[in-house]
Amino acid sequence: MGNGKQDIAEKINQELEDIRFHGADKVISRTFPKSGRERLASLWNKEIEIRATVIGYVSASVFVLVIGIYLWKDPVMKPAPSVSLQAGTELLEVGGSIYWKDQYERMVARLEDSDQD
């Protein structure tokens, strides 16, 4: 009796003796394609290796680009319209309160008009 490990390997080989590799022709046709069809199949089944880091960088770049385009087309931080309309006007302090000068004048004018009526 040989050592235990060898005996086990032998035993497994005995159990698997019907397991025989018959794919040599397929390997040859894929490795050394002769006909056009085999070449096409070989090209179609060609494996390409891409590093995970490359995939990560590309995905991150695409994500940033898409988000950038989306924000550029439809910006979330739109300026408040009231601020832009009121830009350039003056502030007034009346009775301890602060008003926009043009709004204040409009309100005063309206009140004066209503008094005349």
Partner 1 sequence: MMEQYGDYLLRTTVLLLRDRQAAEEAVQDTFIQAFENISQLRDADKLRSWLTRIAVNRCRMRQRTWDWRHIFPNPRMDLHVDEVAPAAEEAMIHHWREGEMTKSIQQLPYTYREVITLYYFNELGVLEIADQLQLNVNTVKARLMRGRNKLRQMIMEMGESDG
Residue from 5, 34, 51, 78 in contact with partner 1 (CB under 8 A): 5
40 touching partner 1, by CB under 8 A: no
Give the binding range for partner 1 (CB under 8 A) out of 17-25, 70-78, 98-106, 109-117. Answer: 17-25
87 touching partner 1, by CB under 8 A: no
How many residues touch partner 1 under the rule CB under 8 A: the total is 22
Element at 92 (helix H, strand E): strand 91-94
DSSP sequence for 21-60: ---HHHHHHHHS--SHHHHHHHHHT------HHHHHHHHH
Cα–Cα separations (whole angstroms), residue 86 to 71, 80, 81, 107: 26, 10, 9, 16
26 touching partner 1, by CB under 8 A: yes
Q: Which residues bind partner 1 (CB under 8 A)?
A: 4-9, 11-13, 15-16, 19-24, 26-27, 30-31, 47
